[in-house]
Amino acid sequence: MPKIPLPKIPDSVVPAPLRKPAKPGEGGVAKGQAPADLKTSPPERQTHVQKLGDQAKEAPADVLAWVDQRTGASGFLTGMLYRKVPKGTNWFYTLGSATLFAFIVQAVTGVFLAMFYTPSTTQAYASIAHINNDVPLGALVHGMHKWGSSLMVILIFLHMGRTFFFGAYKYPRELNWVIGVVLLILTMTMAFTGYLLPFDQRSFWASVVGININGTGPVVGPYLSDFLRAGPELGATTLSRFYSIHMLLVPGAIIALIGAHMYLVVKLGTTAPPWVRAEKPKNAAPVAQLDAGVESNGSVNGSGNGASSA
């Protein structure tokens, strides 16, 4: 695979102490030595404009250094962004980031949809129609949210499948698997509660069926149904309840758990795919040689004949 050169970071954003020093022979004169022609042609004095220009060039580095001095973020960021990944890391490893991206799409489009949506049984359908038909780009944003939800569910399952088939859930990553399962359940909760919000025929009956499936759980099922509907029948409170769960309760939990999930990914690192074998240490002798060594030692000492032949 051809090596892609990393883009060079411009000096203006690197704080002065971290810059690469100039190579010897370049970048003017050696330290402590005046140029030979100083007397014949004294250096021109910098104008104020030039000074300001120099200061402006340093400004981004100064700002970053100011923030870094007060947060210590650069150490954390370098550790996170430049962490080592195992050999064999491939495109399947991007499914988690893809799921995260799908979640961000849902969060951003959801925030803007909430600006036009009315969670009322009498106005919900009309407000969705208004978004789709009248609001500029409304159909696009609504479409991104609607299709993006399916995409997120598909991606999270693929991500889970990758983790399972690569054995990446094993020690010491079990806790991250558990967090991931909770995130999967929360994602399904989002998909379920979001389905009712347009409040058209499909939404209504799909939610009726979904709630009734919840109700078939023994003992607690009937109460769970009542909790979801906020009563014995699907009504006005059901819609507000689903809206609140969909845009306040679950997103907060998802964001918090994604934070924990990613912390553990960075902390524990990723696994190599199962088909990549562990490398043998370079200075260790092959097993055959070790055996030969034992044999020869035995013959030299004259005490291991029986053992080596048996």
Partner 1 sequence: MNGAEEAPRQQRDKPDPPGYFEGESMTRRRAFTIAAQGLGGVAGAAIILPAVGFAVAPIFHRGKERWEAVGPTSDFVEDTYRQVVFTETEGIGDAGKTTAYIRRGSKTFDEDPNTFVAVSNRCAHLGCPVRFVEAAGNFICPCHGGVYDFQGKRIGGPPVRPLDQFQTRIRNGRVEVGPRYSVTSQLEPVRARDPGEFTGGIWEYLYPPRPSTFPAP
What are the DSSP calls for 59-107, one per residue? HHHHHHHHHHHHH-HHHHHHHHHT----TT--GGGGHHHHHHHHHHHHH
| Helical pair 174-196 and 236-244, crossing angle rounded to 10 deg | 140
Window 266-305: residues binding partner 1 (CB under 8 A)? none
The residue from 93, 117, 166, 204 that contacts partner 1 (CB under 8 A) is 204
Q: Which residue has the tokens 């803007």?
A: 112
Among 35, 235, 274, 293, binds partner 1 (CB under 8 A): 235
**Rounded Cα distance, 165 and 161, in Å:** 6
Q: How many CB atoms lie within 10 A of CB 229?
A: 21
60 counts as binding partner 1 under rule CB under 8 A:
no
Q: Which residue number, 28 or 232, has a Cβ lying nearer to partner 1?
A: 232
User: Of residues 46, 69, 150, 212, which one binds partner 1 by CB under 8 A?
Assistant: 212
Binding segment toward partner 1, per CB under 8 A, in 44-52, 186-194, 232-240, 302-310:
232-240
Q: Of 43, 168, 25, nearest to 95 (Cα)?
A: 168
Cis amide prior to 172 (ω within 30 degrees) = yes
Residue 262, token pair as written in the block: 């990613």
Residue from 15, 88, 215, 269 in contact with partner 1 (CB under 8 A): 215
Q: How far is the CB of 126 from partner 1 (least distance, A)?
A: 11
Shortest reach from residue 210's CB to partner 1, in Å: 9
Q: Least distance from C-beta 125 to partner 1, angstroms?
A: 10
Residues that bind partner 1 (CB under 8 A): 121-122, 199, 204-205, 208-209, 211-213, 215-216, 218-219, 221-223, 225-227, 229-237, 239
